[in-house]
A and B are shown apart, each in its own frame.
Chain A
Amino acid sequence: MRRCEAIRSELSAPTGAVGATELAGHLSACPSCASWADEVRSLDALWNNTRLEASEADDDPEGWDAAWAKIAPAAEAVRRERDDQRARSRSIWLCVGIAQAAALMLAFGLWWRSGREEIAVADQQPAAEAPPALTIDLTEGELWFLHVGKDGMRVETTLVDEDDLDLVAADFQILNHMEGLAP
């Protein structure tokens, strides 16, 4: 570890304490120092490309103009990149908003067209989707009574004979009367 520190110190501020051969040997053997050296080299290159020349760094406005001419394209590129990112972000949110609105409209449309027009009583949501326990097939003139008690269901049927047409008539009269009572 100490060796690495000495190598990096020498690379940062060369003193001649570590020879070039030794430096090269260490960098080829130590991935950590090699990576560090690469980063330093990149920073150096960046610095060299952007640092102001002595003539540009004085108070001469022309020198600053020249310096700004170097920096401005990079600054403009950064600004454009940020604008593009914002525009992309806005586009994404706009797409998400449109998709959500479309989903809501689709759900509403499906509900509207579902064909399950309910005549409901307030606060009542009966669930009648359970499999039927019984199938009842009435024939004409047959009276069915389904009795539902705590112990289950019981079916009672009466086939009205031709002499007892009153019951059939009674059935029909009840239907007519109740239909008339409906709101």
Chain B
Amino acid sequence: MTWLRPGAGPWLASFPLLAGLIGSPPRAEAQVVLPPHVLLPPGMTMSRQVTLFAIHAIPGGTETDPKLKAIAPQLRRLMPNHGFQLVNVQSSPLRVNQSITCKVSDQLGVKADLVSALGPDGKVQFRFALVDTPHGMPLATTIISTPPNQLFFCDKVLDDGTKVLIGIGAR
């Protein structure tokens, strides 16, 4: 189950005292998705459409999830001789310091924080972590700088010898 924190505008407006105390909700800020190297007008915050997904890759498998048929050749170039099953995909506009998470299994999750929406080199920077969900322990944490529209891939061998292919990218 995926959820977004609900937009607070109408809800908060019904509590003027509360609204006065805590100010306008973040959703009320101007938000725009822009390509790199574009100067933002004052008062606007830049966001990136971030996509995070997990695909179960089965060595020696030949079957591909119908949802992935369209990109089966591309996936086979990345991981030859594997079958592919979609596990989870999430995509959302993120601003700096916002996060996106993707559940892989009861034991494994992925989390990515947007560190920088536009670096001086025009790249997007993430803090990417594979997480042992039951214990809340990060298994691998990396800082990734990637050009927009370019995926970063990670795979993890599961206990049964199969793999999970994780990709993250932003535009």
Contact = CB atoms under 8 A, between A and B. Distances in A.
Interface of A: 105-106, 108-109, 112-113, 115-122, 124-140, 142-150, 153, 166-167, 170-175, 177-179, 181-183
B138 A130 contact: yes
Interface string B82-113: 00001011111011111111110000011111
Interface of B: 1-5, 8, 18, 21-23, 25-26, 49, 51, 53, 67-68, 70-71, 73-75, 77-78, 86, 88-92, 94-103, 109-113, 123, 127-131, 133, 136-147, 149-157, 167, 169, 171
B49 A121 contact: no
28 contacts: A109-B22, A109-B23, A113-B26, A117-B5, A117-B94, A118-B101, A119-B99, A119-B100, A120-B101, A126-B110, A126-B138, A127-B138, A128-B112, A135-B145, A136-B144, A138-B145, A138-B146, A144-B152, A145-B78, A146-B140, A146-B155, A148-B130, A149-B157, A150-B157, A170-B74, A174-B75, A182-B51, A182-B92
B111 A126 contact: yes
Contacts of A125: 133, 136
Given A128-B128, A145-B154, 18 more contacts: A106-B21, A117-B5, A119-B2, A119-B4, A125-B136, A128-B138, A132-B143, A135-B142, A136-B142, A136-B143, A138-B152, A146-B152, A148-B154, A150-B157, A171-B74, A173-B74, A179-B49, A179-B91
Contact of A177 (B26, B71, B99): B71
Contacts of A134: 140-143
B110 A138 contact: no
Contact of B99 (A116, A131, A143): A116
Given A105-B21, A148-B139, A181 B86 contact: yes
B91 to A, nearest CB: 3
Contact of B111 (A113, A128, A153, A173): A128
B142 A146 contact: yes
A74 B64 CA distance: 94
A115 B95 contact: yes
Nearest to B145: A137
Most buried by B among A115, A117, A144, A153: A117
A142 B153 CA distance: 11
A144 B78 contact: no
A181 B67 contact: yes
B89 A181 contact: yes
B1 A121 contact: yes
B101 A126 contact: yes
Nearest to A122: B1
A119 to B, nearest CB: 5
Contacts of A118: 5, 98-99, 101
